[in-house]
Amino acid sequence: MYAKNYKFGVDVFYPNDLHSFVCCVNIKEKTYANFDFDVIFLSLNPQIARTQIDKFILRRKNKVLINSKIMDVNEFENYINNIIPHTT
C-alpha cells in the first residue's frame, strides 16, 4: 500500500489521439464504476494537452464518476507528491 489512509489505483494508458482518449476513458469508467477507491486515469500521450482533457470533461453528457480523476503526467506528479506515503 502506497498511501497512508487513502486507497487509490492508477490506470495508465497511451491513447493515439484525442478520439482514442475519449473512447478509452469511457470504457475504463464502466470497468471501475463500482470500485470503493479512487481511480486515476493517467494519459501518457504528451500531445493530448490538459486543455483538451478539460474540454472533454466539460462537454461530456455524463459527468466524471465521483471516484475517478482524469490526469496528464504533470498533474499526476503534482497529485502524487501531495499524498502522505504509507510507512512500515
Domain of residue 51, residue span: 9-81
Question: Per-residue pLDDT for 1 more than 70?
Answer: no
- Give the model's confidence band at 48: pLDDT under 50 very low, under 70 low, under 90 confident, else very high: very high
- Strand (E) or helix (H) holding 8: strand 8-13
Cβ atoms within 10 Å, residue 67: 16
Report d(CA 3, CA 85) in Å as an integer. Answer: 4
- Give the model's confidence band at 41: pLDDT under 50 very low, under 70 low, under 90 confident, else very high: very high
C-alpha cell at 79: 497529485
Closest listed residue to residue 10, CA positions, set 59, 85, 70: 70
Q: Is residue 87 in some structural domain? A: no
Mean pLDDT throughout 20-31?
Answer: 92
Report d(CA 73, CA 49) in Å as an integer. Answer: 10
Count: domains in the chain: 1
* pLDDT at site 33: 83
